[in-house]
Each structure stands twice: as C-alpha cells, then as structure tokens.
Amino acid sequence: MKTMDALLAEVPTFAGMTTPQLEFIAGCATNVRAADGERLFREGDPAEVFYAIRHGSVALELHLPARESVTIDTLHDGDLVGWSWLFEPFRWEFDGRARGDVALIRFDGACLRGKCDADHELGYELMSRFSRVIISRLQATRLRLLDVYGVGAPV
C-alpha cells in the first residue's frame, strides 16, 4: 500500500516537490471515496477542505434561479477540486458531485493554511502551484467566452 506522500507525488500539482514537503502536506491529507452522485460540497457551505482526484470524475454544478441547473466543468484524474479553502470567506462557490465512483485525496484546508503560515517556503511553493491551476482554468473559461461554435461560415 502506498504511503500518502507517495500518492501526493502522483498528483500533477504536487509533482516534483521534495519528500519533506510532501510528508509535511501528507499530515493534512486523507484518502476518501465518493459514490456515484454523492455531493462532495454545496454552494455556500464552509469550504474547509479541498480534493485531488486519484481516479474518477467530479462535476461542478451551478444552480440558477428560474433556469435549469448546469454543469460548468468536469474534473478528472489528477485534477484539484476547490480553492475556496484558500481565500476568505472560505465558502464553496459551486456544488461538487461525484460522476461514477471516485477515489480522492481530501485535504484539511485549515491544517494546510496553518502549515503554510508556519513554513513560508512551503506556502510560496503551494501558492505558485495553485496559481498555475487557477490560471489554466481561467484560460479555459476565456476560451469558452469566445463562443467559438456559435458563429462562422458553413463547413
């Protein structure tokens, strides 16, 4: 059975971090499973945790008044789920739901924030890595804003 720091090393966001750093983070991490359809978090609830997907897929859902609820993103093996734990007011901005059975690593956000406060080098490293994830999602959102499929000539 793999140790938690070995599992963390397989998550792209943590790849290449030093063994002491991974062991340090592992103290805030737990292996969990979610069944198909299980809600991992709900919009407006306190965001005390975040996840890394080991196997499976998670849908981010947005519920709108007087409109059909929509899935705005699906996340897959290796993806991080959630950064609301990083910033005040520490509340989820979407619902997260398991699509099929999902294996995840769950992180205690307060625990990790505490470790980042205590070890600024680790904090800087993690913030850099999370920023890359956030930028990647922002770029994908910008691409969708182009609505590339909505215009153009017949093919």
In the structure encoding, which two tokens stand for residue 146, read together?
């182009």
Q: Which residue, 2 or 63, has its beta carbon nearer to another protein?
A: 63
Q: Which is nearer to another protein, 40 or 116 (CB)?
A: 40
In angstroms, what is the minimal distance from the CB of 102 to another protein? 15
CB of 100 vs another protein, minimal distance in Å:
9
CB of 69 to another protein, least distance (A): 4
Nearer to another protein, 1 or 146 (CB): 146
Q: How far is the CB of 138 from another protein (least distance, A)?
A: 12
* Class of residue 85 by CB neighbours under 10 A (exposed 0-12, middle 13-18, buried 19+): buried
- Residues near 9 by beta carbon (within 8 Å), at least 6 away in sequence: 15, 17, 22
Residues that bind another protein (CB under 8 A): 57, 59, 61, 68-74, 76-78, 97, 99, 140, 143-144, 146-155
Residue 90 and residue 47 in contact, taking contact as beta carbons nearer than 8 Å: yes
Q: Report how far residue 73's alpha carbon sits from residue 153's, in angstroms, rounded to the nearest whole number.
A: 28
